[in-house]
Amino acid sequence: MSESTETALRQTPLVERHRRLGARLVPFAGWLMPVQYASILEEHRAVRAAAGLFDLTHMGEVEVTGSGALSFLQEVASNDISRLEPGAAIYALLTNPQGGVIDDIIVYRYPDRDAYLIVVNAANRDKDVDWLQTRRALQPERDVTVEDISDRTGMVAIQGPQAVAIAARLTDADLSAIAPFHWARAIVAGVPALVARTGYTGEDGFEFFTPIERIADVWDALLGEGQSEGLVPVGLGARDTLRLEARMPLYGNELSDTIGPLEAGLGWAVALDKGDFIGRAAIAAMKEQGAPRRLVGFKLVGRSGSPRHGYPVMAEGRPVGEVTSGAFSPTLGENIGLALIERGAAGVGKPLDIIVRGKAAPAVQVKLPFYRREHPAGAGNQSA
């Protein structure tokens, strides 16, 4: 990658730390981000066995305030935001009028004030902000402010079996009291932070939101505190294999403007009974008729290359869909994937053929998720 290419990309405050740690930096969603440090395999296994540290400052954050904030969010988000008590969070989708997905998000209600924070995927930040502000402008009399605070917000995450113990040593706050899909204010390594118990790996852990100028202090403290327990920095490569094992969707793969929540198996994130919202009519109609496609999990049978996004899927000698995500699973030692296929071809135990580099690779559909930790405490979306 040329120097001019690097300088054209946005960089988080941690980029020089990534370089010193030996990261391979790549363009991602307009950012220069670490894809791996040592190896994807080692980083993946460290998160499953000990802990991993992730730079998420490229993610987008949108604050929604005002007396009309709740009613506004109820109209643009698929889930029931009214369920949120102070300090709680919920996974939801921004849906378009056709029932497709603009983005998948987490909505947090602040623990100490009547306002909300939406965390959006980095690649969709500008699109999401434009969509939300356009919807808000349709009712200028409404007391709602939609503000993109991404450029002043830093975000890192620690995930893995040792994550809670490592983070707890850096604060006087009782982080173990933060329930899954909740957040609280705390001083972490001397830095004021909002600490959320969400994530994107299938493991327990926390995400830390701080003023962007202080995020490096939290990163350094967590890295230093956790190294003796096996904590390692983790790049985008292992983040993707971790979320795939846990069956967490990636926007642009399992979700898109033309892939709706019912097809993606995310009907639980849609509250059709809460009242009207954008896309509700289309989603309700699909529910009544039955989704024509289903997202399924599969593993390859025998030796072959790893399945990749876009690979064709066959059943009984005819095309039935395509792979949305696929990789070698470091935890299972098998090639696994997700595929969006015709409803009639879907079913645990049913065979499929994945066309890998022009050749049919036998596969069998399996129950999802591929990996579930023994004592789940909640894992979130964020697709990166």
pLDDT of residue 355: 97
HEC per residue, 83-98: HCCCCEEEEEEEECCC
Cβ-proximal residues to 272 (8 Å cutoff; 6+ apart), any chain: 280, 283, 284, 287
- The string of pLDDT tens digits covering residues 309-357 is 999 999 999 999 999 999 999 999 999 999 999 999 999 999 999 999 9
Domain residue limits at 192: 3-57+152-245
Segment 196-201 mean pLDDT: 96
The answer to the question of residue 102 being in a domain is no
- The string of pLDDT tens digits covering residues 142-170 is 999 999 999 999 999 999 999 999 999 99
pLDDT of residue 376: 43
Work out how many domains the chain is built from and give that number.
2
The answer to the question of residue 172 being in a domain is yes
Provide the pLDDT confidence category of residue 304 given band limits of 50, 70 and 90. confident
Clarify whether residues 51 and 187 are in a common domain.
yes
Provide the pLDDT confidence category of residue 380 given band limits of 50, 70 and 90. very low
Clarify whether residues 48 and 168 are in a common domain.
yes
- The string of pLDDT tens digits covering residues 234-249 is 999 999 999 999 999 9
pLDDT of residue 305: 85
Answer whether residue 384 shows pLDDT above 60.
no
Tally Cβ neighbours within 10 Å of residue 234: 29
Q: What is the CA radius of gyration of the chain?
A: 21
The mean pLDDT value of the chain amounts to 95
Clarify whether residues 200 and 313 are in a common domain.
no
The answer to the question of residue 220 being in a domain is yes
Task: Report the percent of the chain where pLDDT is more than 70.
Answer: 96
pLDDT of residue 377: 42
The CATH number covering residue 359 comes to 2.40.30.110
Clarify whether residues 241 and 317 are in a common domain.
no
Clarify whether residues 236 and 344 are in a common domain.
no
The CATH number covering residue 197 comes to 3.30.1360.120
The answer to the question of residue 342 being in a domain is yes
Segment 54-82 mean pLDDT: 98
The answer to the question of residue 122 being in a domain is no
The answer to the question of residue 116 being in a domain is no
The answer to the question of residue 335 being in a domain is yes
